[in-house]
Amino acid sequence: VNPGAARPTHPLALAPVVSPPSSVDGFVKQFLTNLNFDQGVSLSESDANDQYLALAGTVRDYLMARWLEDQARQNEQQSKTVCYLSAEYLLGRQLDNNLLAARLTDIATDALAQCGIDINDLRELEVEPGLGNGGLGRLAACFIDSLATMSVPNIGYGIRYEYGIFRQTFVDGEQVEQPDAWLRMGSPWDFPHPEAAQTISFGGRTETYDDNGTERTRWIPDWSVLAVPYNMMVPGYHNGRVNTLRLWRAVATNAFDLRIFNSGDYEESVRAQTFAENISKVLYPEDSTPQGKELRLQQQYFFVSASIRDFIDTVLPADYDLTKLPDRVIFQLNDTHPVIGVPELMRVLIDEKGMEWDDAWAITQQCFAYTCHTLLPEALEVWPVDLLGRLLPRHLEIIYRINEEFLEEVRERFGDDMLRIRNMSIIGEHPYRSVRMAYLATVAGAKVNGVAELHSQLLRDKVLHDFAEMYPDKFTNVTNGITPRRFIRLANPSLAELITEALGAGWTIDLERLRGLEALAEDPEFRERFGAVKAANKRRLNEVLFQRDGVHVDETHMLDVMVKRLHEYKRQMLKVLHIVTLYDGIASGRVAAADVTPRTFIFGAKAAPGYAMAKRIIHLINAVGSVVNNDPRVEGRLKVIFPPNYNVTLAEKVIPAADLSEQISLAGKEASGTGNMKFALNGALTIGTDDGANVEIRQLVGDDNFFLFGMTEPEVEVLWAQGYTPADFYQAHAGLRGALDLISSGAFSEGDRSVFEPVVSNLLYDDRFMVLADYASYIAAQERVDAAYADQDAWTKSAILNVARSGFFSSDRSMRDYIDRIWHTPPVL
């Protein structure tokens, strides 16, 4: 394969890659070798971080042979590869996942014990790579896990941000962001390959030239950076397969200017380096509002260009016939962030490989597919034409031509309907000329999918209506999923054991088998054991939160959990109003504390640093918590806990302990949600609106096992159309009035009425997400929750049915749907 490769004569050098023996002794030996030779310390001199790094290295060593074999096999079979292009991967910790995949958990535990080390102490040292914001990034991580487990060739392409999502702290209840220096203690899971770097260019101009009688265009950029790949292993579960996650890091081409350095201007000498390396410096902590920032477009082009060229130039054989590119690859666009890849592939095929426009376009249209993850119009990315033209002049020309030809097609089909043409144009004119990336992706993609049934339907009917009319066959749905390996096996080992005992081991890769638990919901003994698992998970959460934040979770309380990014559309405010209503009842003496169902409310949420309202809501949650938790009249029956820095690691502890899952977005706003699936699969009941994947969860688990409330999407539309006046709801509902007045009175801000005034007036006079309109229905549903919870046995039965009927939400099923409907990439066996 590699012409420069060594020509071995030694018999060992001719043998395939060898793995260390899968035994405790084998593990000990490899671990000590790594400790000595990689970390450069003896066991007795080593500290916990040395040991952690050596342990990670050992796990890697076990996976290595499979990884190398898989790459060889995929080359040999010329299989079609899913290139998942995503600006975010929210991976979570790697150690346990990789041990599990390689069946090494017990061996490693014993081996370390024999070295006098408790593996649990090392686990806690791992800093998760927070290379994503929320659902979209976590989804990408679940998908690559499933593809590896299903033996489908996949390369996940993204950015190796030096700083991932910020570390959240609270100071006097307010969010303060700290940098996430996740690489500080070393990163044992990735392999840098500087020799495989790609040069990525920006700026400059284009010119035409004569190429043996044909006029061609070339781009003369004016600056460039190197994209250096860092490869991570993505092991399949118990199938001996390992795929690759390839994350790009930006490095300056000429690191610094020695001449300037020698002249004494140290800052200037490293300026170019800093400038270039900024590209992969930080993840943008936003996921649903566009930031018109040049650096962000640089990041997008940087990783997409590196990835596409990496695939064509290094993954494919050198002489590969590019007219057959669609046989070997599908580039899946995870939202609009990688859509600049469309003109990039066109540019590569035309300008670099000498293809004609029409051929290049036909290929491009088969090589991309687009997943949309939102319904909020402001979250559909647009790039000002000025900016795009300055940074990527050739790409802008290509986009213009794509648009011209596309609009011609529109005209042919629908006639000179100016309104339609303006609405469908890839170039928007108002408020400034801009490229609408979702439209570009839709025109170029072979398929366009939403992420839950309702979402896909709303995409067809509303957001991309004209396109769906023009290309009805392009549009499809793939409902999101989550990996049962991480979110059941690793996060909830006691439940996993109980399930395995009941159903045998196969469920981890065939989650529909959970159906077998349905019958057991009727079995009192099984219910008792299921209840014991939940109680044990609450105790475990209590330990984690006490260690982490010094707070206690009462095992006897209902655990009512709302964890997700902080956004007005997700309506954390509705949850706050519920808590304040309960508190108001007790504080005013209308309700006896003894009559209130004991509940602990857990929040987890980061707010984008520039999103003032979201930050104020965080402040309010903390403020309500400190009053409610400390008021003796409450008698400890209500408690609000808001652990800072919610992330994958914490999710794995919180979700298995939850009784009630809060999925309360305004109908028609949450594309899917994936947290909702994790909760159901861990035996929490959902209180939720008819939104996103809640719709499918409810259909599957049944109305009796789901607390539905709120307006439906069509009802929301009708109310908007009538003219929504939130103050009417305030007037109409005494409980709501009480809660809002209590917040306004300064009860949660030491009498200072100004602190939360913006939150209250926003609800009273604007309330875009109709919190007040759904309040009464939400409170009524919470009363049904209390009543249901009073019958613990019946509750547990519902919880079991939630688990039993949620197998559909495995990301393995999502992958099968993508493969059948979009990718057509069979497993390589």
CA distance 763 to 336: 31
φ and ψ at 722, to 5 degrees? Answer: -70, -25
The token duo for 823 is: 């990718």
- Which residues 6+ apart lie within 8 Å of 363 measured at CB? 322, 323, 325, 326, 345, 349, 355
Is the torsion defined by CA of 295, 186, 241, 677 positive or negative? Answer: negative
Coil/strand/helix, residue 539: helix
The reply to whether 686 belongs to the active site is: no
User: Own/partner pairs for 518-526, CB < 8 Å, 24+ apart?
Assistant: 518/800, 518/801, 518/804, 518/805, 520/800, 520/804, 521/797, 521/800, 521/801, 521/804, 522/797, 524/793, 526/502, 526/800
Minimum distance, C-beta of residue 53 to ligand GLG, in the bound complex (Å): 32
Q: Check if 324 is active-site.
A: no
Q: Measured in whole angstroms, how far is the alpha carbon of residue 646 from the centre of its chain? A: 13
- Cβ-closest residue to ligand GLG? 135
Is 564 a residue of the active site?
Answer: yes
565 labelled catalytic = yes
Taking the least distance from each CB to ligand GLG, the nearer of 534 and 570 is 570
Query: What is the DSSP code (8-state) at residue 626?
Result: H
733 is a catalytic site residue:
no
Catalytic residue of the set 527, 565, 578, 653: 565
Residue ranges of E strands in 537-681: 558-563, 599-604, 638-641, 660-663
Note if the bond before 192 is cis, omega within 30 degrees. Answer: no
Closest approach, Cβ 805 to ligand GLG, in A, equals 20
CB 674 to ligand GLG: min, Å: 5
Q: Alpha carbon of 463 to those of 373, 446, 601, 817, 824: distances in Å?
A: 12, 18, 35, 23, 27
Q: Contact at 8 Å (CB) between 625 and 562?
A: no
- Beta bridge partners, 461, equal none
Which of 241, 485, 489, 564 is flagged as catalytic?
564
Q: Which is nearer to ligand GLG, 39 or 449 (CB)?
A: 449
Contact of 821 with 476, CB cutoff 8 Å: yes
> Can 615 be counted among the known catalytic residues?
no
Phi and psi of 371, rounded to 5°? -105, 125
Task: Tell the smallest beta-carbon distance from residue 419 to ligand GLG (Å).
Answer: 30
Using CA of residue 611, residue 613, residue 614, residue 618, what is the dihedral sign?
positive
Comparing CB distances to ligand GLG, the nearer of 579 and 654 is 654
Smallest gap from Cβ 692 to ligand GLG, in A, equals 5
Pick between residue 190 and residue 670 the one whose CB is nearest to ligand GLG.
670
Cβ proximity to ligand GLG, 692 vs 807, nearer residue: 692
- Shortest CB 374 distance to ligand GLG, Å: 6
Q: How far is the CB of 81 from ligand GLG (least distance, A)?
A: 22
In degrees and rounded to multiples of 5, residue 786 shows phi and psi of -55, -45
Tell me whether residue 88 or residue 190 sits nearer to ligand GLG (CB atom). Answer: 88
Q: Give the tokens for residue 828.
A: 């390589």
State the DSSP code for 594.
G
Q: What are phi and psi of 167, to 5 degrees?
A: -90, 125
3-state SS, residue 3? coil
Residues that bind ligand GLG in the complex, under the rule CB under 6 A: 134-136, 139, 287-288, 373-374, 451, 480, 670-674, 692
Q: What is the C-alpha to C-alpha distance for residues 782 and 799, in angstroms, rounded to an integer?
A: 17
Q: How many angstroms separate the CA atoms of 20 and 508, rounded?
A: 26
Strands 660-663 and 685-688 turn out to be parallel
Nearest Cα residue to 640 out of 687, 604, 587: 604
Rounded to a whole number of angstroms, the minimum distance from the CB of residue 809 to ligand GLG is 11
Q: Give the Cα separation of 688 and 228 in Å (integer).
A: 44
Which residue in 266, 195, 256 sits closest to 226, CA to CA?
195
Nearest alpha-carbon partner for 173 in 736, 565, 662, 603 = 603
Q: How far is the CB of 307 from ligand GLG (least distance, A)?
A: 20
| Active-site residue identified among 81, 479, 649, 674 | 674
Q: Which is nearer to ligand GLG, 373 or 489 (CB)?
A: 373
* Residue among 138, 578, 599, 678 flagged as catalytic: 678
Of 105 and 374, nearer to ligand GLG (C-beta) is 374
* Residue from 167, 373, 447, 575 carrying the catalytic annotation: 373
Residue closer to ligand GLG (CB basis): 395 or 669: 669
- Closest to ligand GLG by CB, 28 vs 372, is 372
Q: How far is the CB of 136 from ligand GLG (least distance, A)?
A: 4
Taking Cα atoms as reference points, which of 473, 464, 481, 466 lies closest to residue 372? 464
Shortest Å distance, C-beta 567 to ligand GLG: 8
DSSP conformation letters of 254-301: S---HHHHHTT-HHHHTHHHHHHHGGGTB----SSS----HHHHHHHH
CB of 673 to ligand GLG, least distance (A): 5
- Least distance between ligand GLG and beta carbon 287 (Å): 4
Residues 6+ apart with CB under 8 A from 523: none
List Cβ neighbours of 809 (8 Å cut-off, separation of 6 or more). Answer: 479, 480, 481, 482, 511, 677, 680, 681, 693, 697
Active site residues: 373, 564-565, 570, 674, 678
